[in-house]
């Protein structure tokens, strides 16, 4: 057992939830998401984000539209779909439950 | 001035140092390799490239000109290694390929020669030293271990890439693994069925049935693999034992480590061959027949190992070339044997007639027994009921004749009928005539040698001999016990050769009859 490994696993577990939460605020593009996640210190390297975004999009939780940018390539702006919103609500609930559970256990 | 290259990333044009470009190219290539086969992989790669373009645009050198190696390194740190990027995709049920589990490879990292033993050790989770000892032991015995090693060296791919190393060292091996997997499959099915019954939004009922069938399918695949592995073990064991028995009996005169395990010199192929074919051809025949016999056995061992470990192998060229070598050897061997076989094509017979003095009672006695001859080996020919005795020093061959007794209306006589094969009829007759048989006739006794001789320097070509004794009806015959063995086995009137010895017999029209 290695504490770094466990921490990484925990972070990985909530990363999808974090991404959906960030996008739920208002539509944003990859760099915005990355900055928010970096701020919150749940992401270490940016590369891991893209496979997750693509997977969530393919699962119907996200959609995106293209927007031109003044400098550089056009950007993908992500939004939650209705299904994504439902999914997020479900996760919100289970997160609250988890926090409660941990609280209970730590209080003993 | 350093060379720069213009590149286009996600529609933005950059100028980049040559060595920085090389670094970037390798990085993108390995990301591409990791992602391209996953669903949505192309899109992921596109997004990642767009982000890389952004990162470069944000760096200080944007506008001023050229992207340096340091900037590429920095970008790589921000984005993460290809392993980190794709790491999240592994272990997902969708990506069956990533969870292929355990596989056998050569292990070049811990290799002494080719990494075959270290690979097997890593796969089986035992110290490769034991595998090495086994290979060395099998190599001492007729080099078979060495051959198997070379075959595996060629056929087994090396674990050069990290993913292969992972497969090689993956756990857990063996039957326990299979049982574990079967168990897991059934648990998933149980859960899914329960979910469906409870009306949870997992999927339709059809889904659950699909899962059940899938699980049974997997169960049978695993069962099939176990059976294949067991057959593989049988292949390996029988392959090795057949090679050993062939070598022991045919080539090494029953010797293993210079120790004669069979305790007799039954059949020594090299010696025997030199007695029946042109001695100059013997080495060729030996090499060819070894290839013809041993190559399929080595193949059997190899395929046994393949069935046990079920590894990926690049062995098409190997199998093909071995097969071609085998076919060529078979053809060459049959051509050689055919050209030699021509000298067996015709058979000939020579009869030597000897008059016997009329006598009321005739004694048949043993002349020189075969045991008094100093022969080196005894060869029992397949499908023939007689043996040949080979004498290496004199290069002579001895065989046993067959005696029979017949009644005659005329005078008593003894016929020596000599048979041989040859290239032509007259050649066969000449060879038959050359056969030597010694006997001695006195007043009332015949002394018969137990053997005939194919003279020195002649090869064996199907020679044999019959001794036919013709006696008037009513003659009484005494047979010495030592002669029983070379008599024809059935002599009429229910009399068999084993009961002849040291008794008096009357010659009748249809065989020998016991007197009182």
**Is A66 near chain B, with CB under 8 Å?**
no
Asked whether residue B505 carries a pLDDT value surpassing 70, the answer given is yes
What is residue A89's predicted lDDT score, i.e. its pLDDT?
A: 92
Cβ-nearest to B40 among A47, A54, A71: A54
Q: Which of B87, B106, B109, B113 is nearest to B98 (CA)?
A: B87
Please state the three-class secondary structure of B457-515 as a single string. CCCCCCCEEEEEEEEECCCEEEECHHHHHHECCECCCCCEHHHCCCEEEEEECCEEEEC
- Which residues of chain B lie closer than 8 angstroms to A12, CB-CB? 88
Asked whether residue B203 carries a pLDDT value surpassing 50, the answer given is no
- Which residues of chain A lie closer than 8 angstroms to B10, CB-CB? 72-73
3-state secondary structure of B353: strand
Asked whether residue A61 carries a pLDDT value surpassing 60, the answer given is yes
- The alpha-carbon gap from B68 to the nearest alpha carbon of chain A, in Å, equals 19
Tens digit of pLDDT for each residue in B279-332? Answer: 677 788 888 888 888 889 989 999 998 888 877 777 788 889 999 999 999 999
Burial classification of residue B115, based on how many CB atoms lie within 10 Å of its CB (0-12 exposed, 13-18 middle, 19 or more buried):
buried
Q: Are the C-beta atoms of residues B145 and B136 closer than 8 Å to each other? A: yes
What is residue B234's predicted lDDT score, i.e. its pLDDT?
A: 92
Asked whether residue B145 carries a pLDDT value surpassing 80, the answer given is yes
Site from A13, A14, A59, A73 to mutate, B interface, most B CB atoms within 10 angstroms: A73
- Which residues of chain A lie closer than 8 angstroms to B79, CB-CB? 45-47
Pairing between β-strand B445-448 and β-strand B361-366 as defined by DSSP bridges: parallel
Residue with more model confidence, B87 or B435: B435
What is residue A93's predicted lDDT score, i.e. its pLDDT?
A: 92
Q: Are the C-beta atoms of residues B367 and B480 closer than 8 Å to each other? A: no
Task: Tell me if B80 and A44 make a contact (CB, 8 A cut-off).
Answer: yes
Query: Which residue spans within B56-164 are E strands per DSSP?
Result: 66-67
Task: Tell me if B80 and A58 make a contact (CB, 8 A cut-off).
Answer: no
**Is A44 near chain B, with CB under 8 Å?**
yes
Lowest mean pLDDT segment, chosen from A99-103, B70-74, B308-312: B308-312
- The alpha-carbon gap from A4 to the nearest alpha carbon of chain B, in Å, equals 15
Cβ-nearest to B43 among A44, A54, A71: A54
Q: What percentage of chain A has pLDDT greater than the value 70?
A: 97
pLDDT, chain B, mean: 79
Asked whether residue B93 carries a pLDDT value surpassing 50, the answer given is no
- Which residues of chain A lie closer than 8 angstroms to B77, CB-CB? 45
Asked whether residue B208 carries a pLDDT value surpassing 70, the answer given is no
DSSP B64: T
Site from B32, B41, B87 to mutate, A interface, most A CB atoms within 10 angstroms: B87
Pairing between β-strand B413-422 and β-strand B464-472 as defined by DSSP bridges: antiparallel
Query: Which residue spans within B24-100 are E strands per DSSP?
Result: 66-67
Query: Which range is most confident: B57-66, B341-350, B474-483?
Result: B474-483
Residue with more model confidence, B93 or B236: B236
What is residue B15's predicted lDDT score, i.e. its pLDDT?
A: 84
Task: Tell me if A31 and B44 make a contact (CB, 8 A cut-off).
Answer: no
- Which residues of chain B lie closer than 8 angstroms to A54, CB-CB? 40, 43-44, 47
**Is B310 near chain A, with CB under 8 Å?**
no
**Is A13 near chain B, with CB under 8 Å?**
no
Q: Which of B275, B254, B279, B512 is nearest to B389 (CA)?
A: B275
- Which residues of chain A lie closer than 8 angstroms to B81, CB-CB? 45, 47
CB pairs under 8 A between A and B: 72
- The alpha-carbon gap from A68 to the nearest alpha carbon of chain B, in Å, equals 12
The pLDDT confidence band at residue A99, using thresholds 50, 70 and 90, is: very high
What is residue B200's predicted lDDT score, i.e. its pLDDT?
A: 47
What is residue B281's predicted lDDT score, i.e. its pLDDT?
A: 77
Q: Tell me, what's the ipTM? A: 0.85
- Which residues of chain A lie closer than 8 angstroms to B53, CB-CB? 72-73
- Give this prediction's pTM: 0.46
Tens digit of pLDDT for each residue in B440-453? Answer: 988 888 999 988 98
What is residue B174's predicted lDDT score, i.e. its pLDDT?
A: 47
Structural domains of chain A sorted by starting position, each given as residue range(s) with its CATH number in brackets: 3-106 (1.10.10.10)
Helices and strands (DSSP H and E) totals, chain A: 4, 3
Could you identify the residue written with the tokens 């040559």?
B18
Length of chain A: 108
**Is A70 near chain B, with CB under 8 Å?**
no
Q: Are the C-beta atoms of residues B124 and B171 closer than 8 Å to each other? A: no
**Is B50 near chain A, with CB under 8 Å?**
yes
What is residue B98's predicted lDDT score, i.e. its pLDDT?
A: 38
CA distances from B291 to A73, B93, B294, B296, B325 (A): 67, 48, 5, 8, 8
- Give the phi and the psi of residue A47 in degrees, each rounded to 5: -55, -30
Average pLDDT over residues B172-195: 57
3-state secondary structure of B413: strand
Asked whether residue B436 carries a pLDDT value surpassing 60, the answer given is yes
Nearest 5°: CA angle at B7, between B1 and B9? 140
Tens digit of pLDDT for each residue in B226-249? Answer: 898 899 999 988 988 888 877 776
Task: Tell me if B12 and A55 make a contact (CB, 8 A cut-off).
Answer: no
- Which residues of chain B lie closer than 8 angstroms to A77, CB-CB? none
The tokens describing B64, both together, are 């001023």
Average pLDDT over residues B108-122: 86
The sheet carrying B346-355 orders its strands as B346-355, B413-422, B464-472, B402-408
The pLDDT confidence band at residue B259, using thresholds 50, 70 and 90, is: very low
Within 8 A by CB and 6+ apart from B207, the residues are B192, B196
Within 8 A by CB and 6+ apart from B450, the residues are B366, B367, B368, B369, B370, B400, B482, B483, B485, B486
**Is A42 near chain B, with CB under 8 Å?**
no
């Amino acid at each position: 057992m290695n504490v770094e490994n466990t921490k990484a696993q925990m972070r990985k577990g909530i990363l999808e939830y974090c991404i959906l939460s960030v996008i739920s605020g208002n539509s944003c593009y990859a760099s915005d998401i990355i900055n928010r996640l970096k701020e919150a210190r749940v992401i270490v390297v940016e590369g891991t984000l893209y496979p997750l975004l693509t997977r969530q999009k393919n699962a119907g939780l996200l959609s995106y539209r293209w927007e031109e940018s003044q400098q550089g390539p056009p950007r993908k702006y992500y939004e939650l779909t209705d299904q994504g919103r439902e999914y997020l609500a479900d996760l919100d609930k289970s997160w609250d439950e988890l926090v409660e559970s941990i609280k209970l256990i730590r209080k003993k | 001035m350093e060379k720069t290259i213009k590149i286009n990333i996600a529609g933005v044009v950059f100028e980049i140092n040559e060595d920085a470009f090389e670094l970037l190219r390798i990085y993108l290539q390995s990301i591409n390799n990791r992602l391209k086969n996953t669903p949505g992989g192309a899109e992921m790669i596109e997004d990642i490239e767009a982000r890389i373009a952004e990162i470069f645009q944000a760096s200080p050198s944007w506008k001023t000109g050229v992207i340096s190696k340091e900037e590429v390194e920095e970008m790589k740190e921000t984005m993460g290694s290809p392993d980190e990027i794709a790491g999240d995709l592994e272990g997902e049920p969708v990506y069956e390929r990533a969870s292929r589990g355990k596989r056998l490879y050569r292990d070049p990292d811990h290799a002494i020669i080719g990494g075959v033993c270290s690979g097997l050790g890593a796969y089986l989770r035992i110290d490769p030293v034991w595998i090495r000892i086994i290979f060395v032991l099998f190599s001492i015995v007729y080099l078979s271990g060495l051959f198997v090693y070379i075959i595996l060296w060629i056929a087994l791919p090396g674990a050069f890439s990290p993913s292969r190393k992972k497969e090689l060292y993956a756990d857990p091996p063996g039957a326990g693994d299979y049982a574990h997997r079967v168990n897991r499959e059934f648990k998933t099915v149980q859960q899914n069925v329960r979910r469906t019954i409870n009306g949870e939004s997992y999927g339709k009922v059809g889904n659950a049935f699909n899962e059940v069938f899938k699980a049974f399918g997997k169960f049978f695949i695993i069962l099939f693999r176990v059976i294949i592995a067991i057959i593989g073990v049988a292949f390996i064991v029988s392959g090795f034992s057949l090679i050993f028995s062939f070598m022991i009996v045919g080539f090494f005169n029953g010797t293993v480590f210079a120790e004669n395990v069979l305790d007799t010199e039954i059949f020594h192929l090299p010696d025997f061959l030199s007695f029946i074919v042109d001695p100059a051809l013997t080495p060729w025949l030996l090499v060819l027949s070894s290839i013809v016999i041993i190559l399929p056995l080595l193949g059997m061992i190899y395929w046994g190992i393949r069935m046990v470990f079920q590894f990926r192998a690049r062995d098409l060229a190997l199998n093909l070339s071995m097969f071609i070598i085998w076919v060529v050897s078979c053809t060459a061997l049959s051509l050689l044997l055919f050209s030699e076989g021509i000298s067996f094509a015709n058979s000939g017979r020579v009869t030597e007639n000897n008059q016997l003095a009329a006598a009321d009672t005739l004694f048949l006695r043993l002349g020189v027994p075969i045991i008094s001859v100093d022969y080196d080996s005894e060869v029992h020919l397949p499908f023939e009921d007689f043996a040949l005795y080979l004498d290496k020093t004199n290069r002579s061959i001895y065989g046993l004749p067959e005696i029979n007794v017949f009644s005659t209306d005329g005078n008593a006589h003894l016929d020596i009928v000599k048979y041989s094969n040859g290239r032509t009829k007259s050649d066969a007759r000449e060879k038959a005539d050359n056969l030597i048989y010694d006997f001695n006739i006195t007043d009332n006794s015949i002394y018969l040698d137990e053997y005939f001789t194919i003279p020195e320097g002649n090869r064996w070509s199907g020679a044999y001999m019959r001794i036919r004794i013709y006696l008037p009806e009513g003659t009484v015959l005494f047979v010495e016990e030592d002669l029983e063995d070379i008599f024809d086995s059935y002599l009429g009137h229910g009399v068999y050769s084993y009961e002849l010895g040291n008794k008096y017999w009357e010659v009748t029209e249809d065989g020998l009859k016991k007197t009182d």
